[in-house]
Structure 1
Amino acid sequence: MAEPASALQLLTPEGALNTEDASAAEYLPLVEELGDDLLKAFYRDMVIIRRFDVEAANLQRQGEMGLWVPSMGQEAAQVGSGHAARPQDHIFPAYREHSIGMIRGLDVLDIIRMLRGVTHGGWNPVETGNFHLYTLVIGSQTLHATGYAQGIVLDGLSGTGDPDVDQAVIVYFGDGATSQGDVSEALTFAASWQTPQVFFLENNHWAISVPVTTQSRTPLYLRGGGFGVPSIQVDGNDVLASYLVSRRMLDEARSGKGPQLIEALTYRIGAHTSSDDPTKYRAAEELEDWGARDPITRYETWLRSRGEGEAFFSDVAAEAEDFAADIRRRTLALAPPPAESMFAHVYAEQHPEMDAQRAWLADYEASLEAGA
């Protein structure tokens, strides 16, 4: 299965720089400018989050969570774009952007806590590098992101020329979400307001059991142009392309050039969620074909070709195992929250209705203890 000719690719599936594609020529010199620390961080983050993903899926199967949402296969699209955002930017995820949360400082145990049902929301974006909450309502996060980006415009926090002040928003959504009206509405308002945001479309080729070829008869990135939003299609399994294109488009959004759209062609190696069985609708040959384009394998091959030694890869593998073991230990130690916590943060200020309900619950629990 060949990549569409329109998809920008800097790193081939074989792990070599793509010097044959004229569209890649302007980006290849930028690759050489990336520091070793960042290049190593790309690999480390992809490996660790995949190991976390596997461990979390195992924990779900063992009854520790009601649901798990895997991200296996989509690491390059997420890690590359996640590193492209600046600290002042705001990230609006869908529900499988685990690596981006980790990059922004989220303790990924909070994702498990949410799916285990021991938290009332997940996390505070102020404390997690402006990484906003997961959104299970398909596509609605694009409207949340656009509304926030409108606020940035009204506050004059984009297009100032000061890179330490200018802000942008990046919102993640899948190919299935493009069939939702919310996404079209978000693109409409973003174009009208010229909001400082990037729409990052992770085209993983399957909206649960419906293939993208059924969802759209044309490449999805072309939809952006219909709204007046500059768009590009990239190889989503190429972490270098994901990073450099995202960095450029976020810079343009911050500078006042309006919204941008990136379609990252990737593949959902695992199930849509732990409640899904993709073998019922997906051909084994397709999975094998995309498995050969694994984003971590190709990037490791390239790093080795640059002279990266075995010690680095061994250290990352050991770190990933330690990370997974720590997640398992802390997951098994999770306890349900106190029942009265459900009354906190319902209103910004103390509210008599909440006080009454809290008192009723306390009396009810006391009656049960007395009856015992």
Structure 2
Amino acid sequence: MSYQLETQLAQTGNRKDPATGAVSLPIHLSTAYIHPGIGQSTGYDYSRTANPTRTALEEALALLERGDSGFAFSSGMAAVHAVLQLFKSGDELIVSEDLYGGSYRLFHQLEERTGLNFKYVDTTLPNSVEKALTTNSKAIFIESPTNPLMKETDIEAIAHIAKSHNILLIVDNTFYTPILQQPITLGADIVIHSATKYLGGHNDVLAGAVITKGQALAEQLTTIQNSIGAVPSPLDCWLLVRSLKTLGLRVERQQSNAQALAAFLQAHPAIDSVLYPGQGGMLSFRLQREEWVPLFLERLELIAFAESLGGVESFITYPTTQTHADIPVAERERVGICARLLRFSVGIEHVQDLQNELQSILDGLVGEDS
């Protein structure tokens, strides 16, 4: 029987221990497994290669993203790095010009050391993507929405371009999660998550995820995952399974809060601009004055001034010195990541409490300047 996504989430990891009927998924801490005989296996030999708790998580990830296979990694960047192992020296990837600073840092390092080439393009413009392609192009890598400027890309349009050129489409779906967007159903070949963020949702687990379409990619990622060994612990896998059960509820509340706060910020005189795609729990905004940024951040009490995102607690991040500090200043400013920009991960707190804090701080900044 086919179930709705919310039902699948609530049932994540259930009925995985028929011997006891345990409702909560068991945590299999064993790193080694007994072989019945030569050439015989229970399906588990060594925990780096496969672990029952991780298997339950990976099956859930594939199901939620409507992919064929799921792979769990020790962090989002480990997941990105694993996907890049699909390519060789001289290969070129077309990449969103506005993207997470950690991805930019990794791309730059690999470009210097391995001969991979990365071409940065405004992927919200399909024609620009098409024009950027060369005979060396092997994949298109996009964030949608982008981090931190919240630009959405037409995934179906980019997928059409990728298919027509026989190259891969890779989508980082961290911000929207499978609740709001399922890129594989739109034509993507690979989906990546920093599972630390919304999938984990509680700021207590570091993990990454890759979901693939088709047997060939699944076989390649299986080999890469086993070879690299950057897998999450059984406890981290269990924490993610637990968190997935409430993903739909969390995203619904975070989104409703973000929509209300985006409207509030847009109307406040201390705010120059609000960047919000209309859905999801992430938004960015620019203050009218750069000198207000440290004052604003120092006066936060309920909202945390911290890196990361997607948790039940609200976070505000300063990309200039935190998530995007490794991107050269000229490049940051060219795409719009200026020193007045703040990124807001809206949590599940009561929206009025969040708005009251923002209003108090912003009103104070305007009042002091008058």
Q: Where on the TM-score scale, by shorter chain, does this alignment land: which range?
A: 0.3 to 0.5
Question: TM-score scaled to structure 1, two decimals?
Answer: 0.33
Structure with the greater relative contact order (CA < 8 A, sep ≥ 6): 1 or 2? 1
Question: TM-score scaled to structure 2, two decimals?
Answer: 0.33
- The structure carrying a bigger helix percent of its residues is 1
- The structure carrying a bigger strand percent of its residues is 2
